Amino acid sequence: MNSKEILSKLIAFDTTSRESNLKLIDFVHDYLHQLGVSCELIFNEERSKANLFATLGPDDRPGIVLSGHTDVVPVDGQNWTFEPFKLSEHEGKLYGRGTADMKSYIACVLAAVPKLLKEAPLKVPVHIALSYDEEVGCLGVRSLLESLEQRANRPKLCIIGEPTELKPVLGHKGKLAMRCDVYGAACHSAYAPEGVNAIENAAELIGELKRIGTELRNPELCDSRFDPPFSTVQTGVISGGRALNIVPANCRFDFEIRALPAHNPKEVAQQLEQYAFEQVLPKMQAVDASSDIQFSELSSYPGLVTNAESDAARLVAEICGSEEFSTVAFGTEGGLYDAIGIPTVICGPGSMDQGHKPDEFITIEQLEACDAMLARLSKLLRA
């Protein structure tokens, strides 16, 4: 099968993060098994999802990981012209959920396997790594990386095929997603001072978050390689209250920090927690001692910054034919690979301008260009 035919198979699997990815993993496992490639499956605790790791070529030396995530974002509430889980072709474009982010790269990698196996023996092994739940916090890949850390011959570099229009990307910000629960004390709104308004106290914390975010724009903290060039903070979800005539006892808000690689996002969370416990909570408990503020982490992943002179960067520049190194605003699993000592570059077909949107697509030209890039990699690994 060529990459387009494999992509059609992959798109047909609804691997929205809330669903299982096992049908897709079974398809890939069977496809590789028929080609004589053994696979390692790493399941989640419920055995409803799995990562896949396969090796082509010698396994006694460090290799190159071709990494992609199998999950996609929901289509709920989006107005699609084409069926989201069926590959549709129109005017040189291939439509379907995951065509850009990022099943096209996986399809090209799988389509390259027969040539990788049948031509002259590989001098450097090629590893295929497929993960689950990337879209909800890079969750699945963590158990895969734990497995890689135990290998005698840890991979020497990783290429993650997120959509970059096949231009080499060396960096992205890290992310920390947090939840704050504010517990006040309810009473009739006519006697509001006798209660502890959870919404108003949450609002004070959100205001402090905004102030911290403004501080992060200090030119001394900026990095011009990124857009925006500073770490950002934003509150994305809030809920609380039951009726206008009741002082609300509960309020919850979720916030995120997208931090430059040199900036630890947990410092922002700690700064807000210190403000909460030293400035806000004492005032709440002065009215009602049972008042409380609790913080919990929802998800996190580290940022990525790869040296442009590294072997990983030079290799990807050679196979994609570009030294226009850049960064991206969205996060990837790259920081997690890098954190265990596997230098990582982001380079894949398609554009994130089409990702997560209705009528997501990739051009046939980009799919074919990715096939060509992997063919160049194959040739390079035999030289």
> 2 - beta bridge partners?
none
**Counting Cβ atoms within 10 Å, is residue 10 exposed (0-12), middle (13-18) or buried (19+)?**
buried
Active site residue 30: no
Q: Pick the catalytic residue: 14, 71, 162, 338?
A: 71
Q: Pick the catalytic residue: 14, 134, 162, 360?
A: 134
Residue of 209, 168, 162 whose CA lies nearest to 68: 162
121: DSSP letter: P
| DSSP element (H, E) containing 93 | strand 93-95
3-state DSSP: the chain helix, strand, coil percent, rounded to 5? 35, 25, 40
User: Could you give the C-alpha distances from 371 to 220, 324, 337, 377, in angstroms and in order?
Assistant: 42, 20, 24, 10
Active site residue 71: yes
Residue of 79, 66, 175, 85 whose CA lies nearest to 127: 66
Residue of 20, 21, 39 whose CA lies nearest to 29: 39
Residue of 182, 198, 185 whose CA lies nearest to 295: 182
DSSP 160-211: E--SBTT--EEEE-EEEEEEEEEE-B--BGGGGGGSB-HHHHHHHHHHHHHH
Place of tokens 């994305």: 236
Residues classed as catalytic: 71, 134
